[in-house]
Amino acid sequence: MNEEKEKILNFALEKFLSEGFYKTSMDDVASGIHVSKKTIYKHFPSKRELVKEVSQSLVSKNHSIILEKVYSGENSVEKLFNIMQHVGKILMKVSPQMLHDLQMHFPNIWKQIDEFRTKKMSAFLREIFEQGKKEKNFINENTDLLVTVFISSVRGVVNPEFAALNKVSMQAALEATIEILLNGILTNKGKKIFNKLKDGAGK
């Protein structure tokens, strides 16, 4: 990727994260990095194409970060905790408006992202839960069931509609959901590790 295109993508990402896709115009992006709109269109033929590439870039970057955490040398609880901490940091930056705009105005792009993240997270969680059962940090329950319950619960609360209706941030909703889930699937040994990690993160 050339430097000019990367500059446009990075600025557009920050703008989209804070203000959403729909409200941000190509003029806003052009003026924000002091280039002509013609320059923007040279790399991105349409706003839809810009939204698509920004979304894919965000997913790809965070996929790589999570992948490193999954295959680190840590125990299963540490891996899961650190991944959820990372996801929480992402949600701090993502405005509910951005997710709402994707769902409402770019449904095909949202569908692709949602399918990708669900597929990848399922694989990651399966790996961690299998490791966790061997370590006796997780209860000895069917792995596919654990994965399905986990993903369904997180998807149910990490969305702009839930956040608006319950007057809670998506990050706070995620943290509460993870704690509820882990208290249900961790063994006593696993809970001790989780509580130690949680106490350390709060300092």
- pLDDT single digits (tens) 91-135: 888 877 788 888 888 888 888 888 887 888 999 999 999 999 999
3-state secondary structure of 138: strand
The answer to whether residue 123 sits within a structural domain is yes
Residue 203's pLDDT is: 65
The answer to whether residue 97 sits within a structural domain is yes
The answer to whether residue 191 sits within a structural domain is yes
Q: Which residue has the tokens 């569908």?
A: 111
Amino acid at 6: E
What is the CATH number for 118? 1.10.357.10
C-alpha–C-alpha distance, residues 58 and 61, integer Å = 5
The answer to whether residue 41 sits within a structural domain is no
The answer to whether residue 61 sits within a structural domain is yes
pTM (2 decimals)?
A: 0.81
C-alpha–C-alpha distance, residues 125 and 111, integer Å = 21
C-alpha–C-alpha distance, residues 72 and 8, integer Å = 33
The answer to whether residue 116 sits within a structural domain is yes
The answer to whether residue 33 sits within a structural domain is no
Q: How far is CA 120 from CA 78, 79, 107, in A?
A: 19, 15, 20
Q: How many domains does the chain have?
A: 1
The answer to whether residue 150 sits within a structural domain is yes
170 vs 149: which has the higher pLDDT? 149
Q: Range of 67's domain?
A: 55-201
